[in-house]
Structure 1
Amino acid sequence: MALTAVLRLPARALLRPWALLRGVALGRTEAAAGIRNGARRFGSQHVLVEPAAAAGVAVMKLRNPPVNSLSLELLTELVISLEKLENDKVFRGVILTSDCPSVFSSGLDLRELCGRNPARYAEFWKAVQEMWLRFYLSNLVLVAAINGACPAGGCLLSLTCDYRVLADNPKYLMGLNETLLGIVAPFWFKDSIMNTIGHRATEQALQLGSLLPPAEALQVGMVDQVVPEDQLLSTALSVMAKWLAVPDHARQLTKSMIRQATADRLLKQRDADIQNFVSFISKDAIQKSLQTYLEKLKQKKG
């Protein structure tokens, strides 16, 4: 988690994200040289989408420097970008990676969690839910090419993908470390990691707030491959080719069969989850803990 500038956007826009295209750069496209089928490059303030060398594949890059913290703006742009790709029949798969050196995403933006009013907390949490639901249930093949540190919400984003490749660098730690900040990961965070690494490993990872280096992340199954950093994108493309060799309809129905029940748990109690989050994050003790952590970040940055 880290500090970033934030842009306030109406929560209702998440229900119709294309309404936000006016005023952001997503509407501006440019031809991508050498790309077949008319596929085009497009971008917003914090998300860049480029067609990959492989037909039918796009590379989605998070670019919210310095550490890709998940602000309300970035969360909204991620949803818009994914929807645009889903609506473009040229694309069948997305490689999700970072445009910021040494960090995939530092997690939820602490400035969204600290010193705000309840309405803002509710708006932000709905955006976090929307990001998770849209990525977790996407019909596209999603491969995470994790090229940097990946804690907390960054780890959650990677867990929505169908496959995860992590660059082999001991500084690139990943995991859900909410307890270290005095925060409790909600049930759907827990479900995401438990479906990936199993019950016992999840008990330890969540209670201890563990951040694992690449070798350990691979050992517990948090990632599927660890490769040298200069081979990360080529490996992701090779993995994507394997997944795209399967007929889309069969793969999509199988994915839905496996994942829908997990998503339904949140969908059935989405409003209650927002209320629980707002109540929890508004507590004086939690706000004090977050303020303390923010101060430590400021001192470290200074």
Structure 2
Amino acid sequence: MYQTLLTTLDNGIYTITINRPDKLNALNRDVMAELNVVMDEVYQNAAIRSVIITGAGPKAFVAGADISEFTGLAVEEGAQLAAKGQAIFAKIENSPKPVVACVNGFALGGGCELAMSCHFRLASDNAKFGQPEVNLGLIPGYGGTQRLVQLIGKGRAMELLMSASMIDAATALQFGLVNYVVSQEELLPKAVSILDLINSKAPLAIAKCIESANAVFDETKNGYNVEAQAFGYCFGTEDKTEGTTAFLEKRKAIFTGK
């Protein structure tokens, strides 16, 4: 179905693997277009409960954008390219189902931006993160300047953005960019164990957690209002009735996502 992506659905967890290992999984037009389509599938397919995004091969998650596609672009075309990329990554960030990045190797430029658009990140011990765009006379265009500041703070983000320095997995963990660092062999199993736990919870409540937490960084919204409305919404769900009843009856809740 996809030319640049491999997809598998196992026990509610949908694994999306960017599959251009000979190009270190660089983001070209085809990859971006297919990421856009595959996220529509995530939104619409009820069998998908949560998502892992990773890269093929042991060397790279995504080593950046395909720079050959940048040559010859005029100012307006560059802005349009960035806007299109931002819209695709916003679709990942705002997914009502959890999306976890499993970073196996290089996550540079657009690859780091892709990882940051996911709800949280796990890294293998050989992972490297960076925004090297200033080396090309450019800046991150797919939301990197915004999300890096959100995730690691302004001072550290400014240094990485302006120096184009790479950080290793241990530093990324210290900075709060990733939640865990594990061996390459443990990377996907660790993500699966976390998502199995999340998938056992009420799906509509999970979606509202994502929506409410994302509102923190959306200047058009009052996050407290979003939270209050989401809290109220949950009271109209069958899952809330099941969850509270199960708690009072001292049994395990069985959530249906209704």
Q: Output the TM-score relative to the length of structure 2.
A: 0.78
Instruction: Provide the secondary structure at the position in 2 that maps to 1:150.
Output: strand
User: Alignment partner for residue 60 of structure 1, among 6, 16, 23?
Assistant: 16
Task: Tell me, yes or no, if the aligned pair for 1:76 and 1:127 is still in contact at 8 Å.
Answer: no
Distance in 1, Cα, partners of 2:122 & 2:148: 16
Q: Answer yes or no: is 1:93 the counterpart of 2:50.
A: yes
Match of residue 71 from structure 1: 28
Deviation at 1:140, TM superposition (A): 1.3
Match of residue 275 from structure 1: none
Distance in 2, Cα, partners of 1:118 & 1:188: 18
Deviation at 1:115, TM superposition (A): 2.1
Residue by residue over 1:165-195, the C-alpha shift from the partner in whole angstroms, topping out at 9 and shown as x without a partner, is: 11112xx311222223221235932221122
Flag the 1:59–1:261 CA change in 2: closer, same or farther, 3 A.
same
Specify every segment of 5 or more residues in structure 2 that has no aligned partner in the other structure, as ranges.
221-258
Residue by residue over 1:226-278, the C-alpha shift from the partner in whole angstroms, topping out at 9 and shown as x without a partner, is: 1011111111101212322332222212211222464677xxxxxxxxxxxxx
Distance in 1, Cα, partners of 2:14 & 2:184: 20
Deviation at 1:208, TM superposition (A): 1.7
Q: Percent of aligned pairs with the same residue?
A: 24
User: Alignment partner for residue 256 of structure 1, among 202, 211, 221?
Assistant: 211
Match of residue 197 from structure 1: 152
Instruction: Provide the secondary structure at the position in 1 that maps to 2:53.
Output: strand
User: Alignment partner for residue 176 of structure 1, among 117, 131, 136?
Assistant: 131
Flag the 1:263–1:180 CA change in 2: closer, same or farther, 3 A.
farther
Deviation at 1:206, TM superposition (A): 1.6
Task: Tell me, yes or no, if the aligned pair for 2:27 and 2:62 is still in contact at 8 Å.
Answer: yes
Deviation at 1:117, TM superposition (A): 5.0
Instruction: Provide the secondary structure at the position in 1 that maps to 2:166.
Output: coil
Distance in 2, Cα, partners of 1:248 & 1:231: 26
Bigger CA drift: 111-120 or 228-237? 111-120
Distance in 1, Cα, partners of 2:81 & 2:218: 19
Task: Tell me, yes or no, if the aligned pair for 1:62 and 1:100 is still in contact at 8 Å.
Answer: no
Q: Output the TM-score relative to the length of structure 1.
A: 0.67
* Aligned ranges 1:227-246 → 2 under 5 Å: 227-246=182-201
* Aligned ranges 1:200-215 → 2 under 5 Å: 200-215=155-170
Specify every segment of 5 or more residues in structure 1 that has no aligned partner in the other structure, as ranges.
1-25, 27-43, 266-302
Task: Tell me, yes or no, if the aligned pair for 2:17 and 2:55 is still in contact at 8 Å.
Answer: yes
Match of residue 49 from structure 1: 7
